[in-house]
Amino acid sequence: MRNDNNVQSWYSLGIIWAGAMICIPSLLVGNALITSMSLSKALAVAFVGYAIVVFIMILQGMQSSDLGKPTVHVAGQVFGKKGSRTILSIILAIACLGWFGIQANVCGVALANLLAIYHLNIPVPLASFISGMVMVVSAIYGIKVLRTLSYIAVPLLVIICVYGLVQTLTGDQLEFIRAYQPQGNMSFMDGLAVTIGSFALGAVIAGDFFNFPKNVRMFSRLLR
């Protein structure tokens, strides 16, 4: 059921969602698309794919905001309590472990490279383990910690992305982009599958976040 101690403002939830989307898997999806199709085609695939994901998120948000329950509890009305606690939970756990594994490994590589600058050499597996433990501890303390981390990380990530975009679209780089030819040849439907699959889990568990707005009724009416 809805816990009033965890009620968050719309701004807080927006920052948390931004932190969820501006992440390593999203960057990897963009890299997979741009190396396998033209820029215009990659933009079209990303727009259509994420539009479908957002539509699913809206449906999940309507359910959870109306019922005041997280995703697994809502699923219990369809699969039963035992089904939602076993089958659905196992599926979500496997998907989360895959998502978590990618994040921890890439973060571990970055941490190892950063420490190497200061002549502190540690193995990448150890750095990945440390990074993973930081993620686990933050998740244990819940949405309030995620909000605090997002307040710090999201503005920095946005600044870095905007700076990179400005640098890319100035000077000779713009001509390079116009003349760019992809190395691969990914079809539109394959690109759509990659885009949707990259955040399908986030769409399914969207109700876990939409359960926290201050004004649930207003939020539900807006979604409709």
Q: At 113, list the tokens.
A: 């490279």
Helix intervals (H) in 68-88: 71-83
What is the reported pTM?
Answer: 0.69
Q: At 116, list the tokens.
A: 């190497």
Is pLDDT at 2 greater than 60 in this prediction?
A: no
Q: Are 118 and 108 in contact (CB under 8 A)?
A: no
What mean pLDDT is predicted for residues 114-143? 85
Give the phi and the psi of residue 184 in degrees, each rounded to 5.
-100, -170
Distance between CA atoms of residues 109 and 124, nearest Å: 6
Query: So what's the pLDDT on residue 224?
Result: 52
Type of residue numbered 78: V
Which has more confidence, 63 or 129?
A: 129
Q: Are 26 and 105 in contact (CB under 8 A)?
A: no
Query: Average pLDDT of the chain?
Result: 78
Query: So what's the pLDDT on residue 5?
Result: 53
Q: Residue 202: exposed, middle, or buried by beta-carbon count in 10 A (0-12, 13-18, 19+)?
A: buried
Neighbours of 148 (CB within 10 A): 14
Neighbours of 190 (CB within 10 A): 16
Please report which confidence band the pLDDT of residue 1 belongs to, taking 50, 70 and 90 as the band edges.
very low
Please report which confidence band the pLDDT of residue 129 belongs to, taking 50, 70 and 90 as the band edges.
very high
- Which of these ranges, 47-56, 164-173, 205-214, has the smallest mean pLDDT? 205-214
Domains of the chain (ranges, CATH numbers)? 4-223 (1.10.4160.10)
Distance between CA atoms of residues 174 and 191, nearest Å: 24
Distance between CA atoms of residues 62 and 36, nearest Å: 36
Q: How many residues does the chain have?
A: 224
What mean pLDDT is predicted for residues 143-148? 74
Query: So what's the pLDDT on residue 6?
Result: 57
pLDDT in tens, 18-76: 777 777 777 778 888 888 888 888 889 989 998 998 888 888 877 777 777 777 777 77
